């Protein structure tokens, strides 16, 4: 008998526990009974019942609870291709901040509140709104300062288009805008070729200026050397003339003494070394002053 009582008590406890469910803060719950959402009467109108955070009761084994995240969430998808008003392709990386606003509508429009389905539908709507905004603008307008306006317009449109999902779009942001890989590659190649052409032109101009400077310096050096040589020749000529004049004046004053000095210089030059040998006749004029002078 006691075993039957324990079994009954255990069943009662199990039924009691299964009849209670908890909704955490930041969540909402939808309860279905035989696949139909429980309704509640609000101002005389039947609407789906949304359970707020706390403990709630349900019918065990019959009611099913679907928890829905009520916090702000981020939808960050891969970059997508957009076309500008100039028919130019851009790869746009964006993200969306969103949260559930109408839980009943969200539950019904996303196949019982499936998040992946909700994000897929929301992404499609936001991309369509962004595609519209990009299609109204040129690349220059998008890049040069109208991105904030583009994001504001996209957010306003996304808020309207996401209402039928029961979703409130909090923010739409464009993280990055790039050209497609093949276009970027061709642009970089063209930029590289242009820079190389400019560098080549600068190098040619630099080489030309270098040759001009070298030629100018060489001409200046040649002129200065020629001028210095001219002045040196003039100075040597003037020195030679002065020396000749001095010799001439000295010779005029005492020709015999001058002749004697010249002979001594000749002797010194001829007998500078002990090994020097000269073969001359005894009556040669070279030994005139060595033999003694005759008085006339």
Over range 173-200, report the average pLDDT.
76
What are the pLDDT digits (tens) for 97-139?
A: 999 988 888 888 888 888 889 999 999 998 888 888 888 888 7
Q: Give the CATH number, domain containing residue 141.
A: 3.30.479.30
Same-domain status, 275 and 226? no
Over range 205-228, report the average pLDDT.
89
Chain mean position to CA 85: 28
Chain mean position to CA 275: 86
**pLDDT grade, residue 57 (50/70/90)?**
confident
Over range 181-191, report the average pLDDT.
65
How far apart CA 13 and CA 5 sit, in angstroms, is: 12
pLDDT at 295: 46
Same-domain status, 172 and 78? yes
**CB burial class (10 A; 0-12, 13-18, 19+) of residue 104?**
middle
Same-domain status, 40 and 110? no
Same-domain status, 227 and 263? no
Q: Is the dihedral of CA 118, 121, 123, 125 positive or negative?
A: negative
Domain membership of residue 103 as a residue range: 73-179
- What is the crossing angle of helices 115-135 and 147-161, to 10°? 130
Residue 146 covered by a domain: yes
Same-domain status, 139 and 91? yes
Over range 173-201, report the average pLDDT.
76
Report DSSP state, residue 270.
H
Q: What percent of the chain has pLDDT over 90?
A: 8
pLDDT at 72: 92
Same-domain status, 44 and 86? no
How many domains does one find in the chain? 4
**CB burial class (10 A; 0-12, 13-18, 19+) of residue 183?**
middle
Of 164, 139, 146, 168, nearest to 155 (Cα)? 168
């Amino acid at each position: 008998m006691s075993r039957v009582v324990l079994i009954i008590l255990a069943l009662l406890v199990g039924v009691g526990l299964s009849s209670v469910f908890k909704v955490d803060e930041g969540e909402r719950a939808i309860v279905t009974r035989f696949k139909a959402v429980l309704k509640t009467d609000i101002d005389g109108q039947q609407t789906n019942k949304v359970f707020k955070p706390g403990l709630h009761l349900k019918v065990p084994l019959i009611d099913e609870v679907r928890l829905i995240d009520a916090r702000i969430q981020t939808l960050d998808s891969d970059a997508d291709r957009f076309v500008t008003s100039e028919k130019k392709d851009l790869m746009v990386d964006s993200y969306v901040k969103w949260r559930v606003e109408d839980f009943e509508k969200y539950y019904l429009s996303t196949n019982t509140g499936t998040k992946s389905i909700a994000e897929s539908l929301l992404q499609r709507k936001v991309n369509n709104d962004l595609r519209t905004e990009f299609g109204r603008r040129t690349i220059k307008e998008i890049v040069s300062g109208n991105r904030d306006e583009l994001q504001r317009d996209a957010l306003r449109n996304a808020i309207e288009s996401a209402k039928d999902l029961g979703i409130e779009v909090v923010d739409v942001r464009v993280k990055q805008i790039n050209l497609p890989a093949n276009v970027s590659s061709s642009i970089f190649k063209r930029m590289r070729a242009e820079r190389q052409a400019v560098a080549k032109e600068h190098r040619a101009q630099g080489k030309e200026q270098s040759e001009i400077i070298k030629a100018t310096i060489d001409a200046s050096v040649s002129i200065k050397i020629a001028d210095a040589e001219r002045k040196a020749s003039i100075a040597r000529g003037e020195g030679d003339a002065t020396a000749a004049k001095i010799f001439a004046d000295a010779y005029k004053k005492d020709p015999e003494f001058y002749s004697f000095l010249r002979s001594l210089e000749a002797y010194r030059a001829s007998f500078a070394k002990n090994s020097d040998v000269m073969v001359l006749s005894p009556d040669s004029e070279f030994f005139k002053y060595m033999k003694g002078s005759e008085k006339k």
